[in-house]
Structure 1
């Protein structure tokens, strides 16, 4: 679907879509869930289902924004308070989908 030229001109070049379901979100979510470990691109591909060729590009964009870090072949979530908040929000979101809500008929 095309976008208007105003949106094209106004979109910051460095914008990165990390809304739920996007590849950057899936990588961040996976790494945040395993913040005590580091993974190779192949392992991230296998765990997230993102195409092997796309994982490297996603990780590079996330690294450019300081959201992930790497050493050698291994990648991990960055040490950043924003990412701790991201992980906490994901945990709260998961918990809310499993909560049992009932109507107000109880007294």
Structure 2
């Protein structure tokens, strides 16, 4: 079933993805990377774009296509799906992000 997004839904999803992936590291790191790379500037920026843009977009696309992280990981093993998802959410929130922001 193909569902069209309204303009408001599209805007909310776009801004959410932008906020998730564009942090201080993506604002500060590229100029420093360019300065440090010297004459290898284009190679450094190419690999930075691959790891900071392409891989996250592919990850979001894979989870969206599978209709959720649980159904994507459940293809491996149902027990692994629960453990992986719980560890992933704990790592992202209470174990790293919250102490760092506090």
What TM bracket, shorter-length normalisation? under 0.3
Larger relative strand fraction: 1
TM-score normalized by the length of structure 1:
0.26
Higher RCO, 1 vs 2 (CA within 8 Å, ≥6 residues apart): 1
Larger relative helix fraction: 2
TM-score normalized by the length of structure 2:
0.27
